[in-house]
Amino acid sequence: MHLVVPCDTLETEKATHTIVSINGQAVVRYAREATPIITTQDTPYNFGLANVIRYRGEKNNFISAFETKLSTDYSSEKEDLTLIACGPIVAEAMRAAYILKEEYNIEARILNIYTVKPIDMQAITKAAEETNIILSVEEHQVGGFGNIITGVIARSKKYSTPLLMDMVGVEDRFGESGAPWELTRVFGLTAEHIAKRAKVLHDKK
């Protein structure tokens, strides 16, 4: 089984073109609600790899404030922590990186894991070893995506350096009805919530 979780419509189109040529079963998981477009046609996409996204400074256009590279083309910039996300919540992770830099002077590496299976184990392991702080971000029950990330790190990290890790997601509680943007706030999945959790981890370092 192959699983792709695109972050916006452009990435969904790229994912769909890719999986039709895959030998075996494949699933594309995408959101029903309107999702911000945070990539362009030129944004790199390579099935099985992750993208590394870095905030570069305020711009008039949100997308222009970020630089995106394939994980295999990225070298560490000695960031303070890593946010690992997939799907529509990648946009919130990007906003959180903006908040962390502009309000707290904390540099964040973002991993966009658009291919969840097969997952980019090398990119995740490098992030754990190079930043030592990992915050997984998911827009559903906490631990689904986060546990996958934890498993990769547990199997691959050399542990020559310490590691702090936490997960942002829907906690163990009853669901509620509402517009997606309302539920994002209710369940603590906004960029503001993500940045706050990330700062708590950073301050423990």
Cα distance between residue 185 and residue 38, in whole Å:
20
For the stretch 19-54, what's the b/e string if a residue is b when 16 or more beta carbons lie within 10 angstroms of its beta carbon?
Answer: beeeeeebeeebbeeebbebbeeebebbbebbbbbb
| pLDDT tens for each residue of the chain, 205 residues long | 999 999 999 999 999 999 988 888 999 998 877 889 999 999 999 999 999 999 999 999 999 999 999 999 999 999 999 999 999 999 999 999 999 999 999 999 999 999 999 999 999 999 999 999 999 999 888 889 999 999 999 999 998 889 999 999 988 888 788 887 788 888 888 999 999 999 999 999 8
Domains and CATH numbers, the chain: 50-111+120-204 (3.40.50.920)
| pLDDT at residue number 143 | 86
Question: SS3 string of the chain?
Answer: CEEECCCCHHHHHHHHHHHCCCCCCEEECCCCCCCCCCCCCCCCCCCCCCEEEEECCCCCCCHHHEEEEEHHHCCCCCCCEEEEECHHHHHHHHHHHHHHHHHHCCCEEEEECCEEECCCHHHHHHHHHHHCEEEEEEEEECCHHHHHHHHHHHHHCCCCCCCEEEEEEECCCCCCCCCHHHHHHHCCCCHHHHHHHHHHHHHHC
| pLDDT at residue number 87 | 95
The residue count for the chain:
205
Backbone angles phi, psi at 116, to 5 degrees: -85, -30
Please state, as a whole number, how many other Cβ atoms lie within 10 Å of the Cβ of residue 103: 10
Which of 5, 205, 181, 22 has its CA nearest to residue 106? 205
Strand partners, 164: 133
Q: Are strands 66-70 and 81-85 parallel, antiparallel or unpaired?
A: unpaired
Which of 201, 148, 137 has its CA nearest to residue 170? 137
Statement: the pTM of the whole predicted model exceeds 0.85: yes
